[in-house]
Structure 1
Amino acid sequence: MSLVDAPTGGTEEARGLLLTNARPTGRDGSLVDVLIESGEVSAMAPDITPASGVDVVDLDGRWLGPGLWDSHVHMDQWALVRQRLDLSSARSAAEAASLVGERLRGQPPAAGRPLIGYGFQDALWPDTPTRALLDSVSGDVPVVLVSKDLHAVWLDSRALEQHGHGGHPTGLLREQAAFDVNTAVSAVSEELLDDWVAEAVEAASARGVVGVVDLEMTLSIDRWARRVAGGVRGLRVQAGVYPQDLDGVIARGLRTGDVVEGTEGLVTMGPFKIITDGSLNTRTAYCHDPYPGLEGDPAARGLPTYEADELVGWLRRASSAGLVPAVHAIGDAANALALDALEEVGCGGSIEHAQLLDVRDVDRFARLGIVASVQPEHAMDDRDVADRYWAGRTGRAFAFETLVAAGVTVRLGSDAPVAPLDPWVSMAAAVSRARDGRASWHPEQRLVSSVALAASARGRSAVETGSAADLVVTEADPLAATDAELRSFDVAATLLGGRFTHVALG
C-alpha cells in the first residue's frame, strides 16, 4: 500500500501497521522499516517481514519523526479566531478602522450580530485607538476588536453600551475587562463551536500535531469528551483548569494526568493555570523596571495579578489536590514572583511564557525543576515592541538558549491564537530568531534544530522503539531545513497511536 492509499480515522492501531522505507530523523538517512503494534513502535530494522493481518504502507524514502505537540493553546479561541476579521496587517488605528469599514461594506455580519476582529497590536501604532474612530466606520453594527495577545479589546460605542462600559472614554479595555468582553463575544452555540474546533483539529493534524495542552480559560474537559464522542479523534488533549473552576475539578477527584472518562484515552486532566501578570504589548507585564515613558505612573512596572501570599495559597491548594501548576509570567518581576511561590510550595510545574528573566532566576528554573513553556514566534512578533519598552533588557528576553544551557526543560508552543497553531513555525523562530528577511534578533539565543524538535515533541528528536506511535512523516529532513523551509514545511502524514489522522502527498 502506498502512502496515498493509507486510510485515515480508522482503527489501524488494533490491526498492526508496518511503515516501510522510512528515514528516521536524527539518524544517517538510511532506510528502515518501522513496525507498529498496539499503538506503539515495536521494532525498527531493515526489511521487516510483516505478520498476517498487518497493514503495510510504503513511505518511499520520506522522513519519519516524532509527532509534534503544542504546549500552550487556547483551542476554542483558536477555532473562533479562524472565523474572525484578520487585523494583523494593520499598522495604525486608522488602518484597522479602514479594514473594519471594508468588511462591513462587503461582508457585514448577520442582523443583530457584532463584527468581531482579531489580531491588532497597538503598542507601536503612531495613532491612538478611540471609540470615535470605530464609530466613524461602524454605523449601526457593534464592533469588537480583540488584540493579538487577548489582553485588550477595542470597542465602538454600541459595543461598549452592550458590554456595560458605556461611559468608557477611549473604548480600549485591558486585562480582566478585556477577558470578560472576549468571553461574551465568544459565546456561540456548542454545536457550532464543536464544528469549528473539529476543523481546527484537522488543520493541526495536517501540520503534524498529535497533542496540545489546552489552556482555554473556561473548563473544557466536558466539551472535549463530547467532541471525542462525536468523532473528533485527531489529537491528544491535556485540558487545564483556572482558579474559578478549581473547586469543581477537585470535587470530581481529577488530578493532572487522569484520563477523562469517555474520551478513549485521548483527553486527560491538564495543569492548574494561573495568571500572575499581563502582557508586553499592553505594557501590563510585571517588571522590575518601569516602562519608558510611564515613570511615575502607578502602573509603570506593569500589573501583578496576585500578591505573593495569594499566589502561594492557590498553588498550595491545587498541588495538594494533585494538579500541577502552570503559571503565566511574562515580566521579570512576575517570573521572580512565580519562582518564589513555586519554591515555597515545593510543587514543581511550569512557567508559561517566561519572556523576560532576571539572570539570577534562570538557575532557579533548573534547580527547582520548573519547565519553561515558551512561544518562540512571540519573539518575532514582539521584537520591535521589546526593543522599545524593554530597551537595554532584550538580551535576557525570550532567552531560549540561556535556559537550555542551564539545564532547564524547555517546551515550545504557540499560545494560539496569539501565534499560529503550527509547531514548524515555532521551531523556525527558535532556530533562526528571524522572520520576513530581517536579521536574526539576539542570535545568541537561537536553538539548534535537534533541541527545537525535541522541545516540540515531548523531549524526543527521534523515533524510538517502545514509544507511542505518535509520528509525523515529512518530505524532507526537518533537522536540515532552513527556517524559511520550516515555516511552510511539507507534512505527508500524521499518525496518532499508529492511526493515520492525516495523509497528503507533497
Structure 2
Amino acid sequence: MTRADCIIENGRVLTMDEDKPDAEAVAIADGRILAVGSTADMRDLAGPDTRRIDAQGATVMPGLVEAHLHLFAGAFGLRLLQLDGVRGLPALRDRLQRYAKDNPDETLLICKQADYNLFGDGIATTRQMLDEALAERPAIFIAPDHHTAWANTAALKKAGILSGLDTPTGSEVVMGEDGFATGELRENGAFDPVMELRSSGGREGLGLAGLEPAFPPTPAQRAEDIAVVKEGLKLCASYGFTSLHNMDGNRYQLELLREIEEAGDLICRTDIPFHLTPSKAIDSLAEAEVLRAEFASDRLSSRRVKMFMDGVIDSSTAVLVDDYADRAGWRGELLHSPERFRSAAIEADRRGFQIAVHAIGDGAIRNTLDGFEAAQRANGKRDSRHRIEHVELLNPRDLPRFRDLGVVASMQPSHPPGAMDFPLQPWLSRVGEARWPWAFPLDALRAQGTPIAFASDWPVADLDPMRSVKAAMMRRAWKEGDPHNASTLLQSLHAYTAGGAFAGHEDHRLGRLAPGLLADIVVMDRDLQAQSAEEIGQARAAMTFSEGVLTWEA
C-alpha cells in the first residue's frame, strides 16, 4: 500500500469535483493526491513519516488559479508610490512630496493607482491641479487600469508633448482650448514619451508592450529583475495561488522564470504568452512557436497568443457598438482592423495556440468573436478554449456566440464600478443607463453554460482573491430591476479553481481535489462557508501546497 507523505485532516474540503464535492481530509503522495475522504479513511494511509496537518475545520480546496495578471509589473509596482485611497489635493501633496524627498535621484516620479476622481467626483484631473501638488519635478500618475495617465507640466515639457503629439490609433494626448495638453494621456502611445524620462530604464513595465528590453540588461539589472519576480511569486503563493496566467510577456521574462525554475524557486507554475501587438506582422507568430517549443516544462510554458482589441471605457478608448452616452459620434477605435484580426486569429488557431484577447467594449467583443468564428470556419472546430479577457459590456446579440464558439469568459469581479475599489464614474455615464443591464453580464453567461474564470488583473486591481470573492458575492445592480450579476461563494471559488484550470487547458491535472491529480492545495485560515459575505474578504491562505510542496505558511 502506498503511504501518504502528508495528510490534511479535520477540514471542510471543497473538492470542486462533481462526483465527490465535499470531504474532511486529503492525502498526498509523490506530489499527487492519493485519496480524498473522511479523516477516518486516511488512518490506513499514514505511516511513521507521514506529516499530519490539522485543518481545524477550515476550508481546504484546490490551489487557486490567477487567470489574468501582470506578474512583473505588479511586483515592481510595489516599489513605486501607490495612491490607493488618495483623494484631494492635501492628501496627494503630502504623499507625493514625501515620496519625492525619499527619491531625490529619480528623473520621473511614477505614481500608481491614481483615481479617475483624484480631485473629486466628476472633476477632470489637469496638469495645473497636479502642479499644485508638485511642480518642480516631472511626475506621472497612472490610473489603476493602466490605460490612462496624467502628467504635471514639468513632465509634459521635458517629454516635449506640452503642445501635443501625433499618436498612434487608439491613443490621445488630450488637448485644451488653450492649445496645450491638459495633462490627460490616453493609452501607451500618449504616455510613452513621458515614461521615457524615467531612470529605471523602463523596467517597471517589463514585457507589458510585448517587446524585448531596448538594451541588454546588465548582470545587476538581471539579478534585480529576478528578485522582483520572486517577490511577486511569493506574494501570489501567500494568497493561495499555485498557477498563474500572465497576460504580458516576452522571451526575457521567460528566461528569468526559467532561471528561477532551475534554482527550484518557481513556486507558482506560470504561463507567459506571445504578445501579438498591432505593430507586429502576423507571420511573427512563428516566434510564438519557437517560444512554445523552448519553454515547455511542467511549471513554465508559453502556450497562448495575447492580443488587445481595444482600451477601456473610463478613457473612452474601449470600442462600442453604438456611440458613447456622453460623447455623440464616438465609438472608439479598434487596435486591430477587423480584417487583420480575422487573419491573425485564423493563423494563430491554425498553429494550435489558444488566443486570449483583451476586449472590453461590446464592439471590441463582437469583432473578437468574428475572428474566432472565422478561425473555426477556416481550420475546423477543436477544443481551442479561446478567451475574451474582461467582457465589461456585451451586446445581447453576441451572447449565444460565446456558447456556440466555445469561448471562455475570463472576468474580474473587482472591476465593476462600485464593486470593490473602482469608482462609479466616469464608467456609468460613458456607458449610459440603457446598457447597464449588459455590463459584466455574469448571470447571462452562466445561464447558457459559458465557462467562467476569475482573476484580478493585478496590478490593475488588488491581487487578494478573497476580496474579489467578496466583491463577486456582494455585487448589486446600479438600477432597480437590472440583473445583479452576483456570484455565490461556491460559484466564485469554482471560478478561481476549476474555472481557471479549464481556461488554462489544465483541468486534466489541476483545479479539483481528486485521486491522481496534482496536489495543488490551499488550506485557508477559516471555514469560508461559515462566513458572511462581508467577512470573506478578511480570509487568507494559511498554507499553500504546489505539487505537495509547501510554498507558503502563514
Q: Report the TM-score range of the alignment, normalised by the length of the smaller protein.
A: 0.7 to 0.9
CA contact (8 A) 1:433 1:443 kept: no
Report what 2:130 is aligned to.
Answer: 134
The percentage of counterpart residues that share the same residue type is: 25
Aligned twin of 1:113: 107
Q: Is 1:458 the equivalent of 2:498?
A: yes
Return the alpha-carbon distance in structure 1 between the equivalents of residues 23 and 247 of structure 2.
40
Q: Say yes or no: does 1:103 pair with 2:92.
A: no
Is the counterpart of residue 277 in structure 1 residue 310 in structure 2?
yes
Provide closer, same or farther for how the CA distance between residues 177 and 103 of structure 1 changes in structure 2, counting only shifts above 3 A. Answer: farther
The residue matched to 1:393 in structure 2 has which SS? helix
Larger displacement relative to structure 2 (366-375 or 414-423):
414-423
**2:311–2:318 CA contact under 8 A, matched in 1:** yes
Aligned residue type for 1:448: T
Structure 1: distance between partners of 2:264 and 2:103: 30
Corresponding residue for residue 270 of structure 2: 237
1:11-90 correspondence to structure 2 within 5 Å? 16-25=5-14, 31-32=24-25, 34-45=26-37, 46=41, 47-51=43-47, 53-90=49-86
Moved more, 312-321 or 455-464: 455-464
Amino acid at match of 1:392: A
Structure 2 counterpart of 1:301 = 331
The separation in 1 between residues aligned to 2:61 and 2:367, in whole angstroms, is: 38
CA offset digits 1:71-127 (Å, max 9, x no partner): 1101111112212222232445x467535544346x431314321101123267443
Q: 1:66 to 1:161 in 2, by over 3 A?
A: same
Question: TM-score, with normalisation over the residues of structure 1?
Answer: 0.86
- Of residues 351, 364, 372, the one that matches 2:388 is 351
Contact kept? 2:139, 2:151, Cα under 8 Å: yes
| Matched position secondary structure for 1:366 | helix
Which residue pairs with 2:379 in the alignment? Answer: none
- 1:395 corresponds in structure 2 to 437
Q: Which residue of 1 aligns with 2:470?
A: 428
SS of equivalent to 2:272: strand
Query: 3-state SS of the aligned residue for 1:89?
Result: coil
Cα gap change, 1:477/1:73 in structure 2, threshold over 3 Å: closer, same or farther?
same
Matching of residue 260 in structure 1 with residue 254 in structure 2: no
The one of 382, 385, 401 aligned to 1:364: 401
State the partner residue of 2:245.
213
Q: Secondary structure at the match of 2:76?
A: helix
Aligned partners of 2:319 and 2:361 also within 8 Å: yes
How far the C-alpha of 1:434 sits from its partner, in A, is 5.6
1:254 Cα deviation after fit: 4.3
Are the counterparts in 2 of residues 215 and 241 from structure 1 also a CA contact under 8 Å? no
CA deviation digits over 1:295-314, x for unaligned, max 9?
Answer: 14xxx212221211011122
Q: In 2 relative to 1, CA 259–428 (structure 1 residues): closer, same or farther, beyond 3 Å? A: farther
CA distance in 2, matches of 1:348, 1:393: 27
Cα offset, 1:52, TM superposition = 5.5
Q: After superposition, give the CA deviation of every residue in 1:406-448 in whole Å (9 maximum; x if it has no partner).
A: 110010011111111122222222222169xx99995631122
SS in 2 for 1:48: helix
Moved more, 120-129 or 278-287: 120-129
Amino acid at match of 1:421: L
Aligned length: 480
What's 1:335 paired with? 365
Q: TM-score of the superposition, structure 2-length normalised?
A: 0.79
Q: Structure 2: how far apart are the matches of 1:43 and 1:70?
A: 26
Task: Report the Cα offset of residue 225 of structure 1.
Answer: 1.4
Shift in alpha-carbon separation, 1:443–1:484, aligned structure 2, 3 A: farther
Summarize the Cα distance change of 1:332–1:498 in structure 2 as closer, same or farther, 3 Å threshold.
same
- Cα distance in 2 between the residues matched to 1:455 and 1:259: 30
Change (3 A) 1:217 1:96: farther
Query: Contact 2:234–2:267 (CA<8 Å) still a contact in 1?
Result: yes
Structure 1, 374-383 or 163-172: larger mean CA deviation: 163-172
Distance 1:450 1:179, change over 3 A: farther
- After TM superposition, the structure 1 stretch with the greater mean CA deviation from structure 2, 184-193 or 492-501, is 184-193
CA contact (8 A) 2:285 2:348 kept: no
CA distance in 1, matches of 2:434, 2:348: 37
Report the AA paired with residue 86 of structure 1: Q
Partner residue, 2:520: 470
Pairs within 5 Å for 1:4-15: none
Aligned to 1:323: 353
**Cα–Cα, structure 1 residues 87 and 178, in superposed 2: closer, same or farther, change >3 Å?**
farther
After superposition, the C-alpha distances for 1:142-187 in whole angstroms (9 at most, x for unaligned) are 2121111100121223333444524331222111325635875542
- 1:203 aligns with one of 223, 228, 235: 235
Q: Which moved more, 1:318-327 or 1:56-65?
A: 56-65
Deviates more, 1:416-425 or 1:156-165: 156-165
Q: Supply the distance in 1 between the matched residues of 2:66 and 2:480 (Cα, whole angstroms).
A: 24
The structural deviation recorded for 1:487 is 1.2
Q: What is the CA–CA distance in structure 2 between the aligned matches of 1:91 and 1:425, rounded to whole Å? A: 22
1:177 aligns with 2:189: yes
Instruction: Find the aligned partners of 2:360 and 2:306 in 1 and give their Cα distance.
Output: 14
For 2:485, give the aligned amino acid: Q
Which residue matches 2:507?
A: none
How far did 1:39 drift?
A: 1.4
SS of structure 1 residue aligned to 2:35: strand
CA distance in 2, matches of 1:190, 1:147: 28
Structure 2: where are the runs of 5+ without partners? Answer: 165-180, 205-220, 377-383, 502-510
Deviation at 1:51, TM superposition (A): 3.9
Relative to structure 1, the CA distance from residue 206 to residue 214 in structure 2 (aligned partners, 3 Å threshold; closer, same or farther) is same
CA distance in 2, matches of 1:35, 1:293: 57
- Aligned-pair Cα RMSD in Å: 3.0
- Cα deviation 1:355-406 (Å, max 9, x = unaligned): 1001121111011000000011001225443332222211110111211111
Native 8 Å contact 1:91 1:125 kept in 2: no
1:149 counterpart residue number: 145
Change (3 A) 1:127 1:503: same
> Quick check: 1:411–1:455 contact (8 Å CA) kept in 2?
yes
Give CA deviations for 1:162-220 in whole Å, capped at 9, x if unaligned.
44524331222111325635875542633323323322221221111111111125453
Taking a change above 3 Å as real, the CA distance of residues 99 and 492 of structure 1, as seen in their structure-2 partners, is same
Farther-moved stretch of structure 1 (246-255 vs 309-318): 246-255
| Structure 1 residues 480 and 255, CA gap change in structure 2 (3 angstroms) | farther
Taking structure 1 as reference, are residues 230 and 152 closer, same or farther at Cα in structure 2, changes over 3 Å only? farther
Change (3 A) 1:420 1:195: same
Is the 8 Å Cα contact of residues 366 and 406 (structure 1) preserved in structure 2? yes
Q: Does structure 1 conserve the Cα–Cα contact (< 8 Å) formed by 2:342 and 2:372?
A: yes
